[in-house]
Homo-oligomer: A and B are copies of this chain.
C-alpha cells in the first residue's frame, strides 16, 4: 500500500501526476467542512478535487486518512493564527479580539456564507466513536488552552491584569469564548453578533471595557 510518493523528486519515471496534492487537500477540506465526515461521500471529494477515486486513494490512503490529514492541517492553521494574534506587544484586549477575528475569518467562507469551525462542525461529531479523531481534537483544544493561558500569564506579569487574577481561570473563559463563537457560527449566527460576543467576553476577561471596532 504505497502512500504519496516523494514530492520533491526531480524527474519521476512514469506518467506525470495530474493533480496538486496540496490543492486537492484544500478542496477536500472545504467539502468535509460543509457536510461533515460521515455526511460526505467520497465521490463528492472526487468531484471537488477533480481527482478520480484511484488517484485519491493513491494520494491519501483512504477517506479516513484524508480526513485526518485535513484535520491536522486545520489545527496547524488555527494555532498559527492564534499564536500570531497573541504574540507581540499588543494590549491584552486587542490580542484576544485579534485571535477571535482570525477565527471568525475562517468561519465565514469567501462567499460570506457561514460554515463555522471545521473541528467543532465535523470532528467533534466523530470524536466519540473514532479514537484518532478524538485524539486530534483533544490535542488541539489543549494547544489553544495553553496558548491562551501563556498570554494571560504574561499579561499579569506586565500588569495588564490585577495581581490576584487567575490566568488559568481566565484562559478557560478565553477558550470557551472561542468555542461558543465556533458553535454559533455553524448555527447561522451573523458576523456582527459574533463580534459583539467576542467584545463582551473580552471585556469581562480583561476587566475593562472594549470599544467596538
Number of interface residues of A (CB under 8 A): 45
A56 to chain B, nearest CB (A): 20
> CB of A138 within 8 A of chain B?
yes
Q: Which residues of chain B are within 8 angstroms of A114 by Cβ–Cβ distance?
A: 128
Known: A176-B177, A204-B170. A186 touches B127 (CB 8 A): yes
A97 to chain B, nearest CB (A): 14
Q: Which residues of chain B are within 8 angstroms of A173 by Cβ–Cβ distance?
A: 173, 176-177, 200-201, 204
> CB of A39 within 8 A of chain B?
yes
The DSSP consensus for interface residues of chain A is: helix
Q: How far is the CA of A134 from the CA of B176 in the complex (A)?
A: 21
- Interface set of A (CB-CB < 8 Å, partner B): 34-39, 114-116, 120-122, 124-129, 134, 137-138, 141, 166, 168-170, 172-173, 175-177, 179-180, 183-184, 186-189, 197, 200-201, 203-205
